[in-house]
Structures are given as C-alpha cells and as structure tokens.
C-alpha cells in the first residue's frame, strides 16, 4: 500500500485496520492518511460506534406463547413404510385384533360358509362342463373328423 493513500483505499481496509489484521506497512500508511484526512477519521469513529452498538444490540424476549404455538403447529412425523408395516403387524398380534378376526371367521363360516362353498363349487363345475361340451362339439364338427367317420362307416358297410 502506498503512502499516498486515497480515501477509497482507506475505506476498503478499514475493517482490517480495526481488526488489527493489516501488515505493519499497511497500518502505517493508513494511519498517515488518517491523520491528514478528517473525513476518514470521522468515518473510523462512526464505524467503531456501529460495531460497538452491534455488540450491545438489545436482545428481545419473544412472546411466551410463541414456542408453544410453534410446537403445536409442527406436524407429526410421517412414519416410514417399514415402521408402518411393523405397526400393522404388531396390531395383528394384539389379542383384541386376533380375537376379532377369529370371531369374524367363525361367524362367516356359520352364516354362509356352506352355501358360499357350494356356490363356488357349482360355478367351477359349470365352467368345466361348459368347456368340455364346447370341445366335444368342435371335435365332432371338424371336417377331418367327419371325413374319417364317413370313411369308417363305408368300410363297415362294405365289409
């Protein structure tokens, strides 16, 4: 830093000067300028005042209800899928849930177990027989089978 310091140079280094982080030469250059420039001298005083005020800035106490309001407005955390599955499995193992499932199974079996099972079986049998009929009809109506059968009949008559 030259000894013919300008005010702008002085301003740029003012914080470093206050923090005492300038080299010896730079400090001397700044102080030389400071003694000859009332504007910069005033600026230095102003900056020191600003820093002093900043250090003792009043600390305001937030309203007593603020923390309570923040906590009350914090949404409950969303559990991970793993945790939710674990909770579900845990609920299944609870005696109340097991008893409810067991009771429901017995009641359903008692009310409609037979008819339900019968209906399902009837339906299954219907589907199978329908498919069987369809296959038989297709077999006997196919031209190849008809030809084979007619040849076979002719052979029987000739013999």
Kindly determine how many residues on this chain lie close enough to bind another protein according to the rule CB under 8 A: 34
**Choices 14-22, 108-116, 124-132, 140-148; region in contact with another protein by CB under 8 A:** 14-22
Q: Which of 1, 34, 37, 47 binds another protein (CB under 8 A)?
A: 47
Contact call for residues 34 and 44 (beta carbons, < 8 A): yes
* Nearest-approach distance from CB 122 to another protein, in angstroms: 53
**Choices 30-38, 48-56, 89-97, 102-110; region in contact with another protein by CB under 8 A:** 48-56
CB atoms within 10 A of CB 47: 15
Contact call for residues 11 and 37 (beta carbons, < 8 A): no
* Nearest-approach distance from CB 71 to another protein, in angstroms: 5
How far, in Å, CA of 51 to CA of 45, rounded? 10
* Nearest-approach distance from CB 119 to another protein, in angstroms: 48
11 is a site residue for another protein (CB under 8 A): yes
The encoded tokens of residue 123 equal: 């339906």
* Nearest-approach distance from CB 99 to another protein, in angstroms: 30
> What contacts 26, CB < 8 A, 6 or more positions away?
1, 13, 16
51-90: which residues touch another protein (CB under 8 A)?
Answer: 51, 53-63, 66-67, 69-71, 73-74, 76-77, 79
Q: Which of 6, 28, 35, 42 binds another protein (CB under 8 A)?
A: 42
Closest CA to 26 of 39, 42, 12: 12
Q: Say if residue 30 is exposed, middle or buried (CB neighbours under 10 Å; 0-12, 13-18, 19+).
A: buried
């Amino acid at each position: 830093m030259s000894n013919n310091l300008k005010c702008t140079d002085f301003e740029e280094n003012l914080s470093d000067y206050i923090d005492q982080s300038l080299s010896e030469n730079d400090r001397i250059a700044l102080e030389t300028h400071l003694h000859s420039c009332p504007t910069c001298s005033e600026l230095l005083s102003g900056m020191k005042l600003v820093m002093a005020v900043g250090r003792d800035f009043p600390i305001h106490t937030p309203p007593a209800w603020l923390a309570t309001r923040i906590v009350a407005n914090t949404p409950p955390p969303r559990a991970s899928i793993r945790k939710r599955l674990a909770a579900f499995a845990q609920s299944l193992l609870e005696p109340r849930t097991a008893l409810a499932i067991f009771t429901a199974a017995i009641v359903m079996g008692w009310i409609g177990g037979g008819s339900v099972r019968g209906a399902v079986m009837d339906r299954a049998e219907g589907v199978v027989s329908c498919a069987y009929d369809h296959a038989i009809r297709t077999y006997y109506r196919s031209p190849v089978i008809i030809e084979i059968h007619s040849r076979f009949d002719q052979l029987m008559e000739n013999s």
